[in-house]
Amino acid sequence: MKLVLDTSAYSHLRTGHEGVLDHLVRAETVFLPTVVLGELEAAFRLETRAKENRQTLRDFLDEPFAFVLPVSEDVARKYGEIFCELRKAGTPLPINDVWIAATAIVSGARLITFDSDFERIAKLDCIRLSI
């Protein structure tokens, strides 16, 4: 199984959330989209432990099962498709969430999140966990 972690899932992984850990141990591959890296970097800069948080993220990404998913041309096309579908339906989502969803769909992986907004994207294989 391939998993994509959104920012909320990565954050809860850091706190030892059992639901995230259960999915993680069963995964062959775990991806972090570049958009999630950007959100994490912004959060790190607003905190007092930025250096420690960056090192923890680097350690996670150094694991043999963890990879960064870039924004490719296919992801950009999927983003445009999802954005337009949501806009036409009158249910737009935060822009970064659309990028994360597009990245997950193109990768063929299941998204792990705590955010109910992702459930509005029909083609997204998504597991929403609760706190």
Indicate the domain borders of the chain.
2-128
| Angstrom distances, CA of residue 80 to CA of 32, 39, 53, 85 | 20, 20, 32, 9
Give the SS3 label for residue 119.
helix
Q: What is the pLDDT of residues 23-64, one digit of tens each?
A: 999 999 999 999 999 999 999 999 889 999 999 999 999 999
Q: What is the pLDDT of residues 119-130, one digit of tens each?
A: 999 899 999 999
Q: Tell me, which fold does domain 2-128 have in CATH?
A: Rossmann fold (3.40.50)
Q: Are 2 and 27 in contact (CB under 8 A)?
A: yes
How many angstroms separate the first and last alpha carbons of the chain?
23
pLDDT score at 74: 98
Q: What is the mean pLDDT of the chain?
A: 96
Q: Are 34 and 61 in contact (CB under 8 A)?
A: no
The two three-digit tokens of residue 88, written as one number: 């036409």
Q: What is the pLDDT of residues 69-106, one digit of tens each?
A: 999 999 999 999 999 999 999 998 999 999 999 999 99
pLDDT score at 92: 86
The two three-digit tokens of residue 49, written as one number: 């432990």
